[in-house]
A and B are shown apart, each in its own frame.
Chain A
Amino acid sequence: MSKALDLITRVRGVRGAMLVSAEDGLVVAEQLMEGIKGSAVAALAASLAGKLRRAMEAAGTGTSVFWHLQADQGALLVVPASGEGGILVVAVAEPDVNIGLVRLELLRAAEAVV
């Protein structure tokens, strides 16, 4: 798990990576820079993931494979890993991070943790 997170945090501009339980919003594993509150990010990511999943089901668009939340001072990037566990692979990044590269590493990490 830590190896999967390593690959994400190596990307320039990424301030932390986490594995989060989608069902209860708790941290499973994390590698975060100082000042990032892991429990808050995990709770936010799981809450958004749950609402997004229901909204997408209602809209008939299928399940999400990647989502990106851009804020003034940072970005949250999430890939839901498939499988029984319901794990979210989450990256917290600078606002100007290379989104494509982070997405690639998140997808790789999601494959590794299933």
Chain B
Amino acid sequence: MSPHTRAVESWTLQPLTDFVRESSVRLVLVLTPSGQVLAQSGFSRAVDVMSAAALAAAIVASTGELARQLKQAPFAALSHQGPKHGFFLATFPADRGTLAVLAVYDLDVSSLGLVQLFYEQLAADLKAASPKGAAQKQVLAADFERELTDSLNTLFGR
């Protein structure tokens, strides 16, 4: 198992590890649409996880609102490809609530086709592993900082 793959919620770990191995992505976050990180792979600094999670949550929120204004279902996936790296952001419903996956890949090592292919498997594996009947935990503003610190400590093994 990759030493760079860590999970706050342990049921996400095996599907995420498999996804990283098969799709050769560089960075991955599994998070809720509110930006709460459940697992990460490839990040070495807590500040990068916080930034990426906040930006991914903002993209999910803004594209969701755009879809709502267009009277469409929320966008299933978003992909951006630069000269050397690509990123892929997608959401799917699970028993734990809606989850988002952000993956960053090097174009020399992986491709959008590979990431999409193995993302389908990741989403299916996470849906299957998601705790059944578990009520989605509400993160209150008062607890936010403590929750965030706890999550980052878990993700970075502190």
**Which A positions have Cβ atoms within 8 angstroms of B?**
20-21, 23-26, 39-40, 42-43, 46-47, 50, 54
Chain B contact residue count (CB 8 A cutoff): 11
Query: B86 to chain A: which residues have CB within 8 Å?
Result: 24
Verify A24–B108 contact, CB threshold 8 A: no
**Which B positions have Cβ atoms within 8 angstroms of A?**
81, 86, 107-108, 110-114, 116-117
Query: B81 to chain A: which residues have CB within 8 Å?
Result: 24
Query: What's the A-B contact tally at a CB cutoff of 8 Å?
Result: 36
Query: B108 to chain A: which residues have CB within 8 Å?
Result: 50, 54
Interface of B is mostly: mixed
User: Quick one: which of B113, B114, B116 has the most chain A CB within 10 A?
Assistant: B113
Min CB–CB distance B19 → chain A (angstroms): 14
Min CB–CB distance A20 → chain B (angstroms): 8
Verify A47–B112 contact, CB threshold 8 A: no
Verify A23–B116 contact, CB threshold 8 A: no
**Assembled-state Cα–Cα distance A39/B81 (Å):** 18
**Assembled-state Cα–Cα distance A21/B117 (Å):** 15
Q: Which of A21, A43, A54 contacts B116 (CB 8 A)?
A: A43
Interface of A is mostly: helix
Verify B117–A24 contact, CB threshold 8 A: no
Query: B114 to chain A: which residues have CB within 8 Å?
Result: 25, 43, 46-47
Verify B110–A47 contact, CB threshold 8 A: yes
Among residues of B, the one whose C-beta sits closest to the C-beta of A40 is B117
Query: B113 to chain A: which residues have CB within 8 Å?
Result: 20-21, 24-26, 39, 42-43, 46-47
Closest 4 A/B residue pairs (Cβ) = A25-B113, A43-B113, A25-B111, A24-B112
Verify A46–B117 contact, CB threshold 8 A: no
User: Quick one: which of B81, B110, B117 has the most chain A CB within 10 A?
Assistant: B117
